[in-house]
Structure 1
């Protein structure tokens, strides 16, 4: 008697579940992507939800729902946010195919990094970690010749460390200065007054890690 192979054939739904794939409408994926993108920009600007709400005129609740992909922002809200973050409106729209929903909050593709260029200080920050809830943030920081975090020492919550991939960097922690070169690494409490600068004629690239807490 022939076997009933239909009963053992995996369904498309079970195959997707086994491989971690989830069917989500494209509009929902777009909202989730935009929410994480905006959260990444906010974190790179070191702004809390309350601070961002004050600057853009939106409520904390509305911003929270946008960042979590629960609601879609209006064009007016996007314009306000782009002005606060000092980025063109076009940067808030995804180019090309949207990432699979299972990658959101877990994977950052090279072409999908959030980039913040601080032209006045000669520093560019690329967020390498997903902009989901979490204490760990990893940045690729490029410091142009003469660029710095500013003339004043500053503090914030957490702990940070890094690795100088290329070039040289002056790292000032409290009253001590450390001249770091390619291959050197560092770690310190973020509550300790600090600043950094590139005092050479060549570009410096640092993998910088922040642990918020």
Structure 2
């Protein structure tokens, strides 16, 4: 079997397959049905947890339909994107708590956020919980972070890193906005 994921520097076969599938208007399930493979096989490839042989990839692409040549020649908009101006960050939450995201998470396994919490703002009384890991650095202000039964007030320069399956909550306990740069993998929001 030939490993297709290492043929080109920074080539992400999973992102490319997801892009092509979505552009064709197909769900993972529909593509799997057309290609005669399992839905899990498509999911594993798109999440880079499986590197298909050339013949397996050809079988999947036949379900779109698309040739191997076209697949490898295609440059997805997100794959070619490296730099983002501040104005290009995507707002995904606004108000007392705002999140602006770098890039399009349909094409990445890492979510990078610019977070802002107004004084007294928090993520809600109900603790958050999701299948990810997350970390961040406080840039300005202070944030009270509760993870499970642990609680700490983090100030500018302080950082955190935890398994997001643990219940957690963010709350600005200061008198000025709190700004955090955070990362989450796999993406949550």
Question: What secondary structure, in the 3-state scheme, does the structure 1 residue paired with 2:107 have?
Answer: coil
Q: Is residue 166 of structure 1 aligned with residue 136 of structure 2?
A: no
Q: Which residue of 2 aligns with 1:143?
A: 117
Larger radius of gyration: 1
Unaligned regions of 5+ residues in structure 1, if any? Answer: 1-63, 72-100
Cα shift at 1:112: 1.7
Tell me how far apart the structure 2 counterparts of residues 189 and 158 of structure 1 sit (CA, whole Å).
Answer: 6
Unaligned regions of 5+ residues in structure 2, if any? Answer: 1-17, 26-74
TM superposition score normalised by structure 2: 0.56
The two structures, once aligned, show a CA RMSD in angstroms of 2.6
Whether the 8 Å CA contact 1:138–1:208 is kept in 2: the answer is yes
Tell me how far apart the structure 1 counterparts of residues 23 and 100 of structure 2 sit (CA, whole Å).
Answer: 22
Trace 1:59-98 onto structure 2 (pairs within 5 A): 68-70=22-24
TM superposition score normalised by structure 1: 0.50
Q: Which residue of 1 aligns with 2:6?
A: none
> Runs ≥4 in structure 1, deviation > 4 angstroms?
none
Tell me how far apart the structure 2 counterparts of residues 68 and 102 of structure 1 sit (CA, whole Å).
Answer: 12
Whether the 8 Å CA contact 2:78–2:107 is kept in 1: the answer is no
Distance 1:177 1:151, change over 3 A: same
- Residue of 151, 161, 164 corresponding to 1:177: 151
